[in-house]
Structure 1
């Protein structure tokens, strides 16, 4: 290879084979970039800096959701967003299966929690 294979091994002239957890760069020749699997990492508002390792953009905080099993970057709210995600405008976006509470802007309640009949 005419230049060093970053995060990979030269296997033929100007051909890098990326190490596990890396993929071929679309912008830099003979370079492999870290991969973040979307099942484990949501790269919105951040950058994948190592395999499945997320670094948040300025103003965002790294968080793990046990419900989704994913790491993500969230905008810090003045009040914690219960069962939802805090958006950059400070509002709360409810997770799937939850809807905004009538009593509090930062609380999301399970849809159908007030059912009076069951099957």
Structure 2
């Protein structure tokens, strides 16, 4: 009787050994078996195996479940993602867990792509986390990190750039093609519902969430600059107007309409009356 029991145990271990050898022959291309068909792998456990994402089919022998493959170096079953999960890790079959700065691709769940915010560059291409590459005719807004259309010659006051080199007047304004500027539309109303037929264009008649600096509110979040002022190109909110010096302020700053303050070491050119040109002080 004992002889038959010993023979049965021997046959069991021989069967397990054959399964193990067949599994090893299925391991290809380095550490990983490239298909997802279940197969057997050895474990480092003594006695009965503890299989993670696999099934114990014999003492110290595991079989990986569908969607998992053997990591031979670590002696464990690991999830398979056919896309490779570049910039991430395969957390479960067909699903990646992305590294910081990357998100799951909208096209599939097995690829991680750079994250450039909820608007995703607004039509540009996100080339790395937080970095947009804009199409020709568009530039990157340093504040919103979106690609916005570029109007190379700028847009008139009370208008906005809606497409490359295309300006559109703000609501409540219309284009005066003779002067190439946006003026209050005929039939617009002021804050007291009185018809404004082109009188004082600087009468405040809108609602702006932010205060208009050196200007007045002429519509919903639309500021019109006072005379001698122009929109600050660095202000993305378009609520701040800065002084304008048509001749420029070389070696100085424009502090008021057509009035420059010279940098230290410079003074106004005394040779020309009313000149705003700053020249080196040692010339006098």
Same fold (TM over 0.5): yes
Unaligned runs of 5+ in 2: 1-79, 183-214, 219-223, 226-284
TM norm structure 2: 0.30
Pair 1:16-2:122 in alignment: no
Give the Cα separation in 1 of the matches to 2:147 and 2:81: 38
> How far 1:85 sits from its partner (Å)?
3.9
Shift of 1:5: 0.9
The structure with higher relative contact order (CA 8 Å, sep 6+) is 1
Q: Distance in 1 between matches of 2:98 and 2:139?
A: 30
Greater per-residue helix proportion: 2
Matched, 1:86 2:161: yes
Change (3 A) 1:17 1:73: same
- Call closer, same or farther: CA 1:78–1:58 in 2, change over 3 Å: closer
Match of 2:123 among 45, 52, 57: 45
TM-score (norm 1): 0.60
CA RMSD in angstroms, aligned pairs only: 3.7
Counterpart pick for 1:34 among 108, 114, 117: 114
Q: How many corresponding residue pairs?
A: 105
Distance 2:134 2:90 in 1: 31
Matched position secondary structure for 2:97: strand
Q: List alignment gaps of at least 5 residues for structure 1.
A: 115-119
Report Cα offsets for 1:7-40 as digits up to 9, x if no partner: 21122333311111222113135101222224xx
